[in-house]
Structures are given as C-alpha cells and as structure tokens.
Amino acid sequence: MECNNCGKVLQEGENCLCSGETSAAVPEGSSGDEVNKGVMLAKPEENKGEGQEGNKINLAKDSGENSSANASSGAGTEPGENNSGLSGNNNAQGAREESFFSSEKTKEVINNTSNYLKDMLKFSKDFIKKPVISMKYYAVNHDFKKGLFFAVLQSLLFAVMILIMTSKTLNKGNSFFGLKIKIPYFKLFLQSLVFCFVSFLLIPVSHFITSKIFKFKTDIKALITISGISIIPTIIASLVLVVGMLITPYFSVLLTGAAIFSIILTYIGLSELVSENMEKVAYWIVTGYTLFPILLSLVLKIVNPFKSMLSSISIF
C-alpha cells in the first residue's frame, strides 16, 4: 500500500506522517517546487522593499545633515552681517584716517602761523631800521594783510592797557569808597579790542572818502596797508606803556610822540601812493584826520562800547 501524497510504501492500517504537514503548507494543485519557487520570489521583493525604505531613511538623514551643515555654515555669512562688519571696519579705518589728517592739518596750521609771525617780526625789524624806505615801498606794493596784522596787534595792546587802567583805578583793594567792586575783565577786554579795531578801520575809510574830494585815484587796500604800517611806532610805545603803567602812569606821554611819528609816516605813504603835489597831499591828510573823529562819533552813537563797559561793572 502506497501513500497518495508522497508514494511511501505503507503497512496495512498505517498512516503516512507527511499527509498533515503538506496539506497545511501546500495548497491543492501546487507542487513543492512551485511553493519553493514562490518563496524564493517573495524574499527578494521583501528585501527590495526593505532596502528602498532604508535607502529613503539614509537619504533623508543625509539631506538633513547637509541642510544643517549648510545652515551652520551660512549663519556666519549672512549678507547683512557681512555688510555691517565691512561697514564697521570701513568706519573705523575712516576715523583713523580722519584723525591722522586732522593732526596733520593742525601741524600745518601751527607751522604756517609760526612762519607768518617770524616774517612779521623780521619785517618789523627792517622797518625800524629804515622806516621811510619801507613805507614808500609798501605804499606802492601794498599788502593789506600786514596792515590788518598790526591793527590787531595794536588793538590787543590797547585792550590790555584798558584792563590795567581799570584795575588800578576802580579796583584798589577791591573797594571804591568802601564799596566792593566786581569787574568783568573778559567782557571789558573784548569790548576794548573791538572798539580799537573799528577805530583803526575808520582811518583808511576817512582817507578814502577825502581822496574823492581831491580827486585822487586810491585803493582801499593800499590805504589799509599804509595805516597799518604807520602804527608800528605806536605799537612799540604801547608795549613800553603796558610795562610802564605797572610802575607809573607817566609813560603815557610816549603815545603822543609815537602818534606824531605815525602821522608823518602816513603822509609819506600817501604822497608815494598818488605821486601828486605835496601841498595837495598835506591838505588831503589833514582833511582825512579831521573826518576821522566825525566818523568815530557817529559809530559811537550807534554802538557805545564805553557805556556797556561801565554798565558791566558791578558795585555792591
């Protein structure tokens, strides 16, 4: 007797053991080879699916790492941050260059000022040695900046003299008839400086106006030069007076002689400037100095510095 499933020879009444397992594992109409073949075909598909899913996970992981790497690398290279960093460096460099150039400009200004003062000192020495020749030369080859320089210098000395006179007159022992006096020295100095400088400017203006009366062809710059250079004797007398006033007020007589010398030098300069009849030039200069106090009085009516000087002095 044979088994219907596997063909095994069986004894009578014996059951083949393969009948239960094969029936459960193998469907009807299918052979063992087909079953094995199906299993083999199914496994590569399962492995393929698992491989694709794993690859997808790996790709996602790699893309995440790459994006995080790009983000970390891009964090330090933002356009705004780069621009701000560069602009900050440029600003710092510009500030250093500006301070460098400003220091160079300061040195240049100091050197130019020092050289100019040396030139003025040398000019003053040459003028003291030969005042007439110097006046004739600069009357024709005028340099009004020299005239303005000596005008400012004379104004400074005048302001200092006013301070000394005020201090010695009104502030002896900080009292005046038992009253305590407070003098605003800085304001008094500025007002005296402006008053003296404006007074100087009125001299060439008066000569310019009177030159039209005598029909002289003049230049206001040349008149400023002549007026400024002619006060060098007055400046020298003022220097002596500033020191002498600390000792005795009688040194003020020096200003009278210096003023006369300045008028003579002005006459020489004006005669050289116009090259006209000397008598006519003499009348011109007399007329100009006569017009000067008239112009000064008109200015004082408009702006009276002496009134503001006295009002600024406090007595309490």
Distance CA 62, CA 25 (A): 44
Distance CA 196, CA 152 (A): 9
Distance CA 148, CA 144 (A): 6
Average pLDDT (221-233) is: 94
pLDDT band at 130 (very low <50, low <70, confident <90, very high): very high
Q: Which range, 55-69, 87-101, 298-312, is most confident?
A: 298-312
∠ CA(79), CA(84), CA(88), 5° rounding? 150
Q: Does residue 94 have a pLDDT over 70? A: no
List CB contacts of 231: < 8 A, sequence separation 6 or more. 150, 151, 154, 200, 262
276 contacts 216 by C-beta, under 8 angstroms: yes
Average pLDDT, the chain: 73
pLDDT per position as a tens digit, 27-53: 444 444 444 444 444 444 444 444 444
pLDDT per position as a tens digit, 245-297: 666 666 667 788 889 999 999 999 999 998 777 888 999 999 999 999 999 88
pLDDT per position as a tens digit, 176-217: 455 566 777 788 888 889 889 999 999 999 999 999 998 888
pLDDT per position as a tens digit, 95-119: 555 555 567 778 888 888 889 889 9
pLDDT at 12: 72
pLDDT at 178: 54
Between these two residues, 154 and 80, which has the higher pLDDT value?
154
